[in-house]
């Protein structure tokens, strides 16, 4: 997030796109509700009539995967109506002229044919966002889990740049991270392109820094992503160490994923439960869970916070850092003689410029947002306040592309996937917490009444759903939450393994899977 969570009750205009916030980030959503109570206006772009959409002043039920078209047209309206912030554009950005020229043809009428919402609503969205002082953007995986995820994000940046909504209280571009420490995994350098603290692997100075710190030469080129690694299992990649991820249920194209892991010579999984993924491993190592270990987490607003141990680990479970270090030591690697989580974290701080002002003791109260470049720095709740990291904000020329697969005679419905309030990911945790099943006993496929009638589907009955990759059975839930032509389900339930169907394509830059779009056929069993 460019802005802190406490800013969320301050926007004049809220633009929420591709986020089911009341279910996925409920506590953050309470702040938006407060903003609404005090007079903020809200635009929600989401194919489904979510709770958030029902609260919106303007709901745009756009076709899945049509976000770029919507955002280009909104920018077109902002330009035409001169709602841009010319001073901000002149002083802090580059590429504005080219971007404005690019916008000429992308009228709301043009976007309307792609997004399948009325042109006047797109026009209205542009006017409302453009007039907000400030306007804030919130998004989640509904933006990124597309083959054009990067284009979607850049389109949002363009909107914020042209209206000067960056570096202002109550504004900004705010992606909400979905997992407790997914931000932290990136902060710590568990990515193929960056060392800890987002220091690029391809930067020779960084490579040298870590070569020196770790005592061995490290490739000065980025590694492959997990998606590529899974594609080359058995043919390039022969061993994997997976920590706390139920890859075969959460990743797209389940069959492919399972096949990939099975073709490894050696698979070691660290987890708290014997997940579907752990069942495929050669060695499974039991890790400590929440409440059983000390550690550190970064939240979605880059706030670095302490986890504390409250109970002893079950059985012989050990902290992840201890397990990995023990494997390292057995391979004869130096630098893994840690005695505590504190030691590990302090080493991270010593190597990461964004954590340079932090250490284990300083984060006791969780008051710092990174970057914290030195010990006298108060932290950075808001990014881009005076300047952008790389100088000027860059307008990017973006064009609309169709999703990897589009609906056809064979697969005439759009499937989009997501999450439920009461379930978390693959339910390894919520599925084992008493009472949750009282509210959400099973997964179902949400389908519009018209579609259900046309396909002869009855509420509560089982249906077959297939895509180019496979077929599953799933109970039907007839609801107007889904727009006509689009069906929805979550990937949380192992008995409805929807990721057998997904996996049509990946963003070429980030290799994020297009989990939000998958043409399917649905019919009675």
Partner 1 sequence: MSIFLGFCRFANRSGLKIPHLRRKDVCETPTLGDFSKSQSFFERNSVEGTNRPEIYEEIVQTGDADRALFNLINIEKILILKIRFDTIALQLMTVNRDQITEVDLLTMTLDGEAVQFTEGETIYQVADRHRKEVPTLCYDDRLEAFGACRLCVVEVEGIRNPVASCTTKATDGMVVKTATEAIEKHRKTLLELVVSENRNVDVDELSGYASQEMKNLVDRYGARTGRFQGRKSGTSNTKDKNPFIVRDYENCISCYRCVRVCAEQEGDYAINVMNRGFDTQIITEFNQDLRDSECTFCGQCVQTCPTGALGDRKALRDVETPGELKKTRSICPYCGVGCSVDLLTKGDKLVGVQPAMDGPANEGALCIKGQFAFDFVQNADRLKKPLIRRDDGELHECEWNEALDAAAAGFAKVRDKFGRHAIYGVASGRAPHEAAYTMQKFIRAGFGTNYIDNCSRA
Nearer to partner 1, 107 or 429 (CB): 429
Query: Containing H/E element for 194?
Result: strand 194-195
Nearer to partner 1, 93 or 430 (CB): 430
Smallest gap from residue 359 Cβ to partner 1 (A): 8
Smallest gap from residue 238 Cβ to partner 1 (A): 4
Question: SS3 of 488, please?
Answer: strand
Smallest gap from residue 225 Cβ to partner 1 (A): 5
65, 146 contact by CB (below 8 A) = yes
Backbone angles phi, psi at 240, to 5 degrees: -135, 145
Smallest gap from residue 36 Cβ to partner 1 (A): 8
Distance CA 82, CA 155 (A): 18
Nearer to partner 1, 43 or 278 (CB): 278
Nearer to partner 1, 60 or 440 (CB): 440
Question: SS3 of 296, please?
Answer: strand
Q: What angle do CA 438, 440, 445 make, to 5 degrees?
A: 150
Nearer to partner 1, 87 or 105 (CB): 87
* Greatest alpha-carbon span in the chain: 67
163, 24 contact by CB (below 8 A) = no
Nearer to partner 1, 50 or 250 (CB): 250
Nearer to partner 1, 281 or 520 (CB): 281
Nearer to partner 1, 16 or 513 (CB): 513
Smallest gap from residue 4 Cβ to partner 1 (A): 9
User: Which string of DSSP letters, residue by residue, matches 254-284?
Assistant: HHHHHHHHHT-SEEEEEESS--TTGGG-SEE
Smallest gap from residue 227 Cβ to partner 1 (A): 6
* Neighbour count for residue 477 (Cβ, 10 Å): 20
User: Which string of DSSP letters, residue by residue, matches 446-484?
Assistant: EE-HHHHHHHT--TTSEEEEE-SS-EEEEEEEE-TTSPT
Smallest gap from residue 95 Cβ to partner 1 (A): 28
Smallest gap from residue 387 Cβ to partner 1 (A): 17
Smallest gap from residue 108 Cβ to partner 1 (A): 31
Smallest gap from residue 90 Cβ to partner 1 (A): 22
Smallest gap from residue 268 Cβ to partner 1 (A): 5
Q: With b meaning 16 or more CB within 10 Å and e meaning fewer, what string describes 284-293?
A: bbbbbbeebb
Q: CA-CA distances (angstroms) from residue 324 to 66, 337, 338?
A: 43, 11, 11
Nearer to partner 1, 112 or 300 (CB): 300
492, 429 contact by CB (below 8 A) = no
Nearer to partner 1, 395 or 506 (CB): 506
Q: CA-CA distances (angstroms) from residue 519 to 20, 409, 494?
A: 21, 10, 21
Its sign, for the CA torsion 164, 168, 174, 177, is: positive
Give 99-103 contacts, CB < 8 A, sequence gap 24+: 99/75, 99/158, 99/162, 99/395, 99/396, 99/397, 102/397, 103/72, 103/75, 103/76, 103/79
Smallest gap from residue 509 Cβ to partner 1 (A): 11
The DSSP letter of residue 337 is -
Q: What is the dihedral of CA 281, 285, 288, 289, to 10 degrees?
A: 10
Nearer to partner 1, 236 or 524 (CB): 236
Give the orientation angle of helix 67-80 with respect to helix 96-103, to 10 degrees: 100
Query: Containing H/E element for 204?
Result: helix 204-214
Nearer to partner 1, 22 or 416 (CB): 22
């Amino acid at each position: 997030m460019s802005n802190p969570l406490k800013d969320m009750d301050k926007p004049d205009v809220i633009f929420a796109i591709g986020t089911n916030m009341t279910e996925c980030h409920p506590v953050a959503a309470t702040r938006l509700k407060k903003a609404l109570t005090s007079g903020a206006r809200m635009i929600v772009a989401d194919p489904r009539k979510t709770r958030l959409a029902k609260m919106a002043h303007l709901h745009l039920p756009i076709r899945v995967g049509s976000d770029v078209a919507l955002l280009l047209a909104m920018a077109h309206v902002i330009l035409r109506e001169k709602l841009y912030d010319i001073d901000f554009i002149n002083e802090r950005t580059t590429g504005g002229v080219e971007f404005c020229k690019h916008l000429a043809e992308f009228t709301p009428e043009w976007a309307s044919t792609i997004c399948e919402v009325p042109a006047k609503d797109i026009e209205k969205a542009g006017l409302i966002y453009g007039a907000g002082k400030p306007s804030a953007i919130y998004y989640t995986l509904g933006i990124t889990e597309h083959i054009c995820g990067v284009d979607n994000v850049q389109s949002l940046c363009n909107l914020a740049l042209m209206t000067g909504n960056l570096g202002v209280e109550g504004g900004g571009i705010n992606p909400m991270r979905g997992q407790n420490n997914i931000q932290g995994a990136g902060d710590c350098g568990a990515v193929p392109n960056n060392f800890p603290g987002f220091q690029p692997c391809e930067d020779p100075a960084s490579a040298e820094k870590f070569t020196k710190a770790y005592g061995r030469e490290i490739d000065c080129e980025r590694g492959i992503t997990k998606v590529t690694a899974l594609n080359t299992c058995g043919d390039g990649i022969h061993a994997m160490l997976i920590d706390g991820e139920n890859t075969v249920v959460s990743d797209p194209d389940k069959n492919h994923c399972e096949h990939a892991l099975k073709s490894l010579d050696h698979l070691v999984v660290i987890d708290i439960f014997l997940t579907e993924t752990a069942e495929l491993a050669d060695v499974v190592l039991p890790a400590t869970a929440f409440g059983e270990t000390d550690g550190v987490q970064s939240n979605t607003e880059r706030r670095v916070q302490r986890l504390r141990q409250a109970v002893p680990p079950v059985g012989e479970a050990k902290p992840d850092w201890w397990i990995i270090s023990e494997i390292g030591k057995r391979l004869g690697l130096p630098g893994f003689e840690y005695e505590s989580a504190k030691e590990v974290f302090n080493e991270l701080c010593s190597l990461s410029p964004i954590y340079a002002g932090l250490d284990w003791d300083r984060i006791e109260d969780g008051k710092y947002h990174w970057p914290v470049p030195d010990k006298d720095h108060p932290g950075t709740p808001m990014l881009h306040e005076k300047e952008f990291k790389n100088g000027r904000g860059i307008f990017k020329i973006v064009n609309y592309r169709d999703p990897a697969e589009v609906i056809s005679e064979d697969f005439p419905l759009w499937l989009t996937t997501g999450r439920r309030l009461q379930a978390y990911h693959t339910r390894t945790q919520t599925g084992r917490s008493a009472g949750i099943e009282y509210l959400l006993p099973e997964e179902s496929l949400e389908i519009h009444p018209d579609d259900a009638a046309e396909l002869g589907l009855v509420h509560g009955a089982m249906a077959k759903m297939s895509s180019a990759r496979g077929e599953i059975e799933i109970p039907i839930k007839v609801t107007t939450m889904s727009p006509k032509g689009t069906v929805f389900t979550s990937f949380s339930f192992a008995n409805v393994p929807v990721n057998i169907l997904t996996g049509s394509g990946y963003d070429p830059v980030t290799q994020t899977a297009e989990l939000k779009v998958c043409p399917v056929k649905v019919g009675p069993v």
